[in-house]
Amino acid sequence: MHSHLNDMANHKSALKRIRQNEVRKVRNRYYHKTARTALKVLRNEENKAAATEQLPKVIALLDKLAKKNIIHKNKASNLKSKLTKHVNKLA
């Protein structure tokens, strides 16, 4: 994990920056993966009532990711639009 520390200047600030970046990278990857799983679950949902209940939660999740710049805000909008259409199409 800390092999890349030797390649850089050993300034205190640089070392701290590396630690912070590592923590953020792991956290962002977790958020992103969680969101993708939630999207998949919603896309595979056949029951309209269940899908309608899940949609606002997924939309909130996407908005949070967009706000934190984990995904682009336009990507979030496109996903929300597609998912809403998908849910409305369910019988």
Answer yes or no: is 6 within a domain: no
Q: Identify the band that residue 90 occupies on the pLDDT scale cut at 50, 70 and 90.
A: confident
Q: What percentage of the chain has pLDDT greater than the value 70?
A: 90
pLDDT value, residue 2: 59
Q: Is residue 45 part of a domain?
A: yes
**Residue 39 domain-assigned?**
yes
64: number of Cβ within 10 Å = 14
Structural domain containing residue 84: 12-89
* Tokens read off for 81: 């639009």
Q: How many domains does the structure of the chain reveal?
A: 1
Query: Half-sphere exposure of residue 27, counting CA atoms within 13 Å on the CB side?
Result: 9
Q: Is position 63 within any domain?
A: yes
44: pLDDT strictly greater than 60: yes
- Rounded to whole angstroms, the Cα distance separating 48 from 37 reads 19
**CATH code of the domain in which 42 resides:** 1.20.58.110
Residue 81 lies in a domain: yes
